[in-house]
Amino acid sequence: MLKSLSVRNFALVDALDIDLDGGLTVITGESGAGKSILLDALTLVLGSRAQRSKVRPGAASLEVCAEFDIGNRDDLHQIMSDQALPEGDTTNSILVRRTANADGRSRAFINGSPVTLTVVESLTQSLIDIHGQNEHRELHDRANQRRLLDEFGVDAALVKDVAAAYDEFRSRADELAALEAKINADRERRELLTYQIGELEALGDTIGTFEALSIEHKRQTQAVDILTTIDAALTDLRDAVLPSTSRIGDSLKRLDDESTHLDAARELTAGAVAHLDELIDALRHYQDQVPTDPTELEAIEASLSALHEISRKHRVAPERLAQHLDELRQTLGSMTADEAQLEPLVHALDEARQAFDSRASELSAARERSAEPFAKAIAQVMNQLGLTGGSIEVTFEPHESRDGKEAVEFLVTTNPNYPAGRLGDIASGGESARISLAVQVVAAERSALPCLILDEADVGVGGTTADVLGRLLRHLAETTQVIVITHAPQVAALGQTHLKVVKTSEQDTTIEALEIEARVEELARMLGGRAITDETRTFARTLLDEASAE
C-alpha cells in the first residue's frame, strides 16, 4: 500500500505531508483548491517526465517522496536485489524520491540510492493504478480491455509465461530468418565469385601481360615512324657521314709528321669509322626487328581491349588483374557453408512454437472461462451505477502477439432495445465514465493491485447512485487500498479516512485529516455549498451514521 506522500515546492504546494492508511480514503475540497496537484505529484514520483513549470515559483527545485509497503511481493524484492538497492526502514518498505530543478533536470532515488526512471517504473507500476477523470477513454483501447479481463480471472504468471514464450519463439524465428538470409547471401556471393573467377580465367596467359602488351602495342603503332627514321639515319650514315669520316682518315694517314697529337687524331678517326660501321649494323638489326605485320597488331589490340573491359567490370587496374584473380580465389575458398546450422535452428523454432502454442492455448481457455463471469459482474455494477439494462460482452478475434492468440474487445449495451456495439460508438461520455468505473471496480476486486486511486470517479452521478458507488468502493477497499478524490458527499461519507485539501490565504495548497466534527462541516459544505445550515449538518451526520453502520 501507499503509506505516505511528501511534497516540497511543487506548484502551489510549499510543504505537504500525508500519512495514508488502508481501506477507503476520501479526499475532498473546494474546486481550485489543488486536489489534482496531489495526483500530479504522485505521477511524478511514479516515473512521469518532470516539468520545470511544476517547480514552485521562487524555488530552486522540487521534491516528491512516496513510501510504499510492498509486503511479501517476491517480484519486487527480486528487483530490489537485482539492482543492489538497500532496504528501507523495514524489510518491506521502499521510499521513492524524485527531485527536479528549475532548469528541467531531474533525479530519482529508491531508499536513498540513485536509480533510473526505468527502475522506478518497474517497481511502482504494479503498486498503483490511477484512474483519472478521462480514464474511460483508455478503456476504448483493446489492449487495456484485454489487460482488465486478465486481471479479473487469469493467472498473472500464465500471462507472463505466454509473453516469455512468444518472445522466445520470435527470437528463434528471427535467428532462423537471419541465418537463412546469410545463407542466401553467401550463396549469391559464391555464385558471383565463381562467375567473376571464370571471367578472369578465360583471359588465359594474357591476364598478367598487360605491361608487356602495352609496350609492344606502342612499338607496333609507331612502326612506320620508326622505319622512316631508321632509313633516313642509315642513308645519312652510308652516303655522307661514313665516307666523309673515311676520307678524313685517309688524309691524316698521308701527312708525314711525327706528332703525338697527330697520331691520336689518326687513332680517333679510325675508331670513329669502326663505331660508325657498328652503328650502321645495329640500326640494320633493329630495322629488321621492327614489326610490320598488321595481323599481329590487331591481335595485340584485341588482347588489350579484353584486359581493359574486364578491369572496368572488376574495378581494378589492368596490371592488377592477376593479383585480383588470386584474391577472389582466396575469398571463395575461405567461405564456409552454414547450412549445417539450419536443422538445429529449425528444431529449436519448432519447440519454441509448440511451447508458445501450448501456453497460449491455456491462456485462451482461461480468458474464455473468465469472460462470462467478468461480463456479468460488470453488468451488475453498471446497473447499480444507474445504467439500468446495461450489459457488456467480451468478444475475441484471432490476433497472435506476446499477449496470446487473440485480441479482446468489449461490446457494450446501454439500452436493451439496441444491439451491442463498441464502447466509443454506443456510450455517451457520462456512460463511458461509469462503465469504465464498473470495469475498474470488478477488475480490482480480483487483481493483486495494492492501491487504486480514483480522481473524481463520481462525475455525472449523484444521489442514490453516488451512495451505491461509495459502498462499492468501500467494499473494494476491504482488499485493496482505495483513494478517491470526490465531490460527492455520499461517497465522502463512506470514507474510513477523510482528507481535505485547502488553499490558504497565501494561495498555498495544504491538506488536513478530518475528525468527526470537521467531517460534518465538510460534508455539510459539499451538500449545501458555502451556506452551511443546521439542515445540511443534520444530513451530513445522517450520512456518517449510515456509513458507520456498514
Quick one: pLDDT at residue 351? 95
- Out of 317, 334, 351, pick the residue that ends a domain: 334
CA–CA gap between residue 503 and residue 32 (Å, rounded): 8
**Same domain for 111 and 239?**
no
**Same domain for 111 and 217?**
no
CA–CA gap between residue 468 and residue 546 (Å, rounded): 13
Kindly tell me if the per-residue pLDDT of 430 is higher than 50.
Answer: yes
Kindly tell me if the per-residue pLDDT of 136 is higher than 60.
Answer: no
**Same domain for 222 and 122?**
no
- Out of 303, 334, 365, pick the residue that ends a domain: 334
3-state secondary structure 362-419: HHHHHHHHHHHHHHHHHHHHHHHCCCCCCEEEEEEEEEEECCEEEEEEEEEECCCCCC
Residue 98, exposed/middle/buried by CB under 10 A (0-12, 13-18, 19+)? buried
Q: Is residue 339 part of a domain?
A: no
Q: What is the mean pLDDT of residues 130-142?
A: 63
Q: Is residue 213 part of a domain?
A: yes
**Same domain for 123 and 218?**
no
Q: What is the mean pLDDT of residues 20-33?
A: 83
Q: How far is CA 233 from CA 61, 221, 241, 280, 332, in A?
A: 101, 20, 10, 9, 57
Q: Is residue 293 part of a domain?
A: yes
**pLDDT tens, residue by residue, 227-265:** 778 888 888 888 888 888 888 888 888 888 888 888 898
**Same domain for 5 and 83?**
yes
Buried b (16+ CB within 10 A) or exposed e, 200-215: beebeebbebbeebee
**Same domain for 108 and 196?**
no
- Out of 334, 353, 374, pick the residue that ends a domain: 334
Q: Is residue 439 part of a domain?
A: no
**Same domain for 296 and 219?**
yes
Q: Is residue 414 part of a domain?
A: no
Q: Is residue 315 part of a domain?
A: yes
Which residues touch 66 (CB under 8 Å, ≥6 apart)? Answer: 2, 4, 5, 6, 42, 45, 46, 95, 96, 97
**pLDDT tens, residue by residue, 396-420:** 999 999 999 999 998 888 877 778 8
pTM, entire model: 0.61
Bridge-partner residues for 499, per DSSP?
Answer: 27, 513
**Same domain for 122 and 192?**
no
Quick one: pLDDT at residue 550? 63
**Same domain for 193 and 330?**
yes
The number of folded domains in the chain is 2
CATH number at residue 56: 3.40.50.300
Kindly tell me if the per-residue pLDDT of 166 is higher than 90.
Answer: yes
**Same domain for 207 and 329?**
yes
Quick one: pLDDT at residue 374? 93
**Same domain for 112 and 197?**
no
Which residues touch 287 (CB under 8 Å, ≥6 apart)? Answer: 227, 230, 231, 234
**pLDDT tens, residue by residue, 483-533:** 888 888 888 999 999 999 888 777 778 888 899 999 998 889 888 766 788
**pLDDT tens, residue by residue, 295-332:** 877 888 888 888 888 888 888 898 888 898 898 888 88
CA–CA gap between residue 361 and residue 111 (Å, rounded): 41
**pLDDT tens, residue by residue, 59-113:** 889 999 999 888 777 777 888 888 888 876 667 888 899 998 988 788 989 888 8
Q: How many CB atoms lie under 10 A from the CB of residue 268?
A: 12
Residue 495, domain extent: 1-127+450-550
Q: What is the mean pLDDT of residues 542-548?
A: 85
**Same domain for 121 and 193?**
no
**What are 294's three cell numbers?**
598488321
Quote the strand ranges of 269-312, DSSP E.
none
Q: What is the mean pLDDT of residues 191-206?
A: 87
- What is the layout of strands, in order, in the sheet containing 509-513? 128-131, 451-455, 481-485, 24-28, 497-503, 509-513
Reading phi first (left if > 0) and then psi (alpha if -120 to 50, else beta), residue 427 is in: beta
